[in-house]
Amino acid sequence: MPSHLMATEGNFFSVPSPVGTNLPPLAVGSAYARRYRKLPGIVAATFGDGGASSTPDFHAAMNFASVYNLPVLFVCENNRWAISLPYEKQSKVEVWKKAEAYGMPGAKVDGNDFIRTYRVCREAVEYVRSGRGGPYLVEAVSYRMGPHSTSDDPSKYRDNAIEEGGSDQDPLVIAEKSLIALGYITKEKSEKLWEEAKKLVDSRFEELEKVPAPQSRGRSSMTSTRR
């Protein structure tokens, strides 16, 4: 599927489609394996509110990681919707608070704010790396402005998505404003970056539009494969 990308050279493992299944075996399991093999480093696992925090796998993973003091950073992107189901109908408790039940630290951050998220995650990574107490859970609060997928139509189950999320809550807009305010970039530099990024995306888009569609294997090859 288009979102199932891997980059083994950077130790980046794809998200699996059955939601939540990345947590116990892939995140916690590989953290256990790293320690067993005396490898350095930690495991970071990201997941959605509905995708994973509502599955039994989430609880099993938190418990196992905590009991075994494993180096895992759990990051839940809570964008308040699991396709058409609002978070209030998934759980009565905020995600980050569930950390306490498993004896690990938890923190909530405005996930639309890149700088705040970076700071909170850096602290969490330092904690996990130090090996003091095992895992850490971060809840990055956001808002899903668009549909879950191209086959989803949010107008069927919610109104005013943009007003609720607020276009001023766009992470790129917030990051731009903060970086300018903190003096890391100027308005001119930022405009130039937007322009360059747009050019890059447009040219890659044009290039990829020319790639031919994948060929169907056709009836005869299917038959021969089965035989």
Ligand X SMILES: Cc1ncc(C[n+]2csc(CCOP(=O)(O)OP(=O)(O)O)c2C)c(N)n1
User: Largest Cα–Cα distance in the chain?
Assistant: 66
Interface with Mg ion (CB under 5 A), residue from 20, 24, 48, 105:
48
Active-site residue, from 119, 157, 184, 204: 157
Q: How far is C-alpha 123 from the geometric centre of its chain's CA atoms?
A: 18
Interface with ligand X (CB under 6 A), residue from 62, 82, 128, 137:
82
Q: Is residue 14 part of the contact set for ligand X (CB under 6 A)? A: no
Is 87 marked active-site? no
> Applying CB under 6 A, which part among 37-45, 47-55, 66-74, 104-112 lies near ligand X?
47-55
Q: How far is CA 221 from CA 179, 213, 214, in A?
A: 55, 18, 15
Q: Is residue 79 part of the contact set for ligand X (CB under 6 A)? A: yes
Residue 18 binding target from Mg ion, ligand X, none, CB below 5 to 8 Å by type: ligand X
* Binding residues vs ligand X (CB under 6 A): 17-20, 48-51, 79, 81-83, 144, 148
* Catalytic sites, residue numbers: 144, 148, 157
